[in-house]
Amino acid sequence: MPKKITHFTHPKHPLVQTLIDRRFKCDGCKYPGSGLRYYCDIFDFVLHDRCATCPPALHIFAHPLHPLTQVARTDPADPRVCDLCREPVRRTSYRCVACGFDLHPLCAMLPPTVEAELHSGHALSLVPAIPQPCSACGEVCLVWRYRCIPCKVNLHPQCLFGWQVGMKKTTHRG
């Protein structure tokens, strides 16, 4: 039996875990995805596997002071930006109301440390720092990046994990 859940962004019908190769746009965070998803075929409603299964509230190292609650943005006149990747919050985010702090659900699921083929030998830690170029793509890492401190290597989360994290690579504008 495929896994089924109900989610606060689509309470009417259960969502069924489905594996399809085709790309999709997540109706939760409104960022693209591919592969594993949760799907309602009545309304053609789809969520990233991780957007569907991440907890309603969490405590995360990136915001140690307060717990964050998963919410859906309803006011289009209230633009928000993810405090980790600096891309817009399109619909759902983990939010600290007290601080006005937001994270994309997929950014909130990023591991604090990783071992990666792009920089083998040392573990990389997700840390905030001043803007510096990414060692993989050469574009600037704005705030948070995976960093190897002894080697001074910086890597965008999206360069390490690709579209899996739902983020667009920062492009030069203007």
Binding site for Zn ion (CB under 5 A): 13, 26, 28-29, 40, 42-43, 48, 51, 65-66, 82, 84-85, 96, 98-99, 104, 107, 122, 134, 136-137, 148, 151, 156, 159
The least distance separating Zn ion from the CB of residue 17, rounded to whole angstroms, comes to 14
CB of 159 to Zn ion, least distance (A): 3
Distance spanning both ends of the chain, measured CA to CA: 50
Q: How far is CA 155 from CA 51, 71, 136, 142, 170, in A?
A: 23, 29, 6, 11, 12
Nearer to Zn ion, 98 or 130 (CB): 98
Separation CA 171–CA 26 (nearest Å): 22
Of 1 and 120, nearer to Zn ion (C-beta) is 120
Q: Are 156 and 170 in contact (CB under 8 A)?
A: yes
Helices (H), the chain: 49-53, 105-108, 157-161
Beta carbon nearer to Zn ion, 40 or 62: 40
The distance of closest approach from Cβ of residue 48 to Zn ion in the complex, given in angstroms and rounded to an integer, is 4
Closest CB to Zn ion among 76 and 98? Answer: 98
- When computed from its CA atoms, the radius of gyration of the chain, rounded to whole angstroms, is 17
Rounded to a whole number of angstroms, the minimum distance from the CB of residue 1 to Zn ion is 19
Q: Decide whether 7 or 104 has the Cβ nearer to Zn ion.
A: 104
Smallest distance, Å, CB 65 to Zn ion?
5
For residue 165, give Cα distances in angstroms to 31, 34, 123: 9, 11, 19
Reduced to 3 states (helix: H, G, I; strand: E, B; else coil), residue 70 is: strand
